[in-house]
Amino acid sequence: MTTLPSLAAAPWLQAPALRCILAVIAAWGGEVRVAGGAVRNALMGEAVTEVDLATTLSPAQVIAACTAAGLGVHPTGIDHGTVTVVADHHPYEVTTLRHDVETDGRRAVVRFTDDWQADALRRDFTMNALYCDAAGKVYDYADGFADIQRRRVAFVGSPAQRIAEDYLRILRFFRFHARYGAGAPDAAGLEACVEAAPRLDGLSAERIRQEMFKLMAASGAIPTLRLMAGAGILGHLLPYAEDWDVLARLPPDPVLRLAVLARDPLAMKDRWRLSNLEARRLEDIVCLTAPRPGLRPHEQRVILHQMGPQAWSDLVRIGWARSGAAADDPAWQDLLGLPDRWQAPEFPVSGRDLLALGMAPGPGIGEALRRLEDWWMASDFVPGRQELLDRLK
């Protein structure tokens, strides 16, 4: 039998806000443990950035206990047993132990329980079905620690059943493999994902985008995306281009990677319900001309002023990746670093200035401003406000 390590010395477990909530629930007569990701990451030597709790108390009891203790309480997921408790400005999700009564592949009807094993066996992956108590003792009901040691992402119980409960778990399987896995994926899990792949067509765009952006930011994103393409999974999510070598040369930025992966990047705004900022970045990448080494310094500054530092960085990184130049190529490094060395000044003249000089309102104002700004850029951004106004006069 494998001896489970203790997490008693973990700094996050000793955080005063967390200790406060653990003590409040215990004093109310409930058993409470840290659940899922925090335990997984701690056992894998990964950073713990979010701590979720599971308890035998009902949501109403959690609310009563924490309210009586003067803690902030928000019923953020009350239908599924989740209450967010705030201690010393730190929020913690506290969820009552549960098991699924009914599922339809997108959402579940749950029933509360006090059975820790039942709660563990409804979770998606073995490495997520781990708990630790206030003393740091780890509880493992699905051999998750063995899979953590092998860095193997494996479904709890039947992969087909876990996927049928929530088809988003297909994408989570690949996302977790890209983030935590090593070697070939679990064969049974992969087979079940391939079998259920057509069900991805029924998922909301928002859920797909959330999972895929996390996947594309992971260290193992590129080999995992190739695996998904070969297994027939990726085609259910987007029409894609197989520029794998270019993708491998990009930093782990989901928008940059999507710009190269998608055959039609501009269509992804609606397909995945991207934010306006994400869609704008894709539009700039597609529609603007990428700067390249060889441009004169003045030309570089003009282009940077016109497109802005975000588009400059995106286009230089993609151009560098497509060029095949070495990762430490000094010319591309110099180009990428321009926004750090030089910040484009703000054009110091506005339409109000032209009106004050007596110009009539209308399209002529905009045309005059454009001509003046062109001269200002051609003068390497040196002329100040008064010189520009004098030129207008």
> Is the pLDDT score of 228 beyond 70?
yes
**Spatial contact of 203 and 160, defined as CB atoms under 8 Å apart:** no
Nearest-5° angle of CA 147, CA 77, CA 180? 20
Say what the pTM is.
Answer: 0.88
pLDDT in tens, 154-187: 999 999 999 999 999 999 999 999 999 999 999 9
Distance linking the first and last C-alpha atoms of the chain? 88
Question: How confident is residue 109, by pLDDT bands cut at 50, 70 and 90?
Answer: low
Of 353 and 261, the structure prediction assigns the larger pLDDT to: 261
Average pLDDT, the chain: 93
Interval 106-116 mean pLDDT:
76
Task: Note the pLDDT of residue 105.
Answer: 46
DSSP for 230-245, written as a single string: HTT-GGGT--B---HH
pLDDT of amino acid 108: 59
> pLDDT tens across 98-107, in order?
876 555 545 5
Residue 45, Cβ density class (10 Å: 0-12 exposed, 13-18 middle, ≥19 buried) = exposed
Check residue 103 and give its pLDDT.
Answer: 57
Average pLDDT for residues 24-28, to the nearest whole number?
A: 94
Q: List CB contacts of 218: < 8 A, sequence separation 6 or more.
A: 175, 178, 179, 224, 252
pLDDT of 351 > 90? The answer is no
Share of the chain above pLDDT 70, in %: 97
Among left, alpha and beta (phi > 0; psi -120 to 50; other), residue 105 is left
Q: How far is Cα 331 from Cα 321, in angstroms, rounded to an integer? A: 13
The answer, yes or no, to whether residue 318 has pLDDT greater than 90, is yes
How large is the average pLDDT for residues 99-121?
74
359-393 pLDDT, tens digit each: 888 888 888 899 989 999 999 899 988 898 888 77
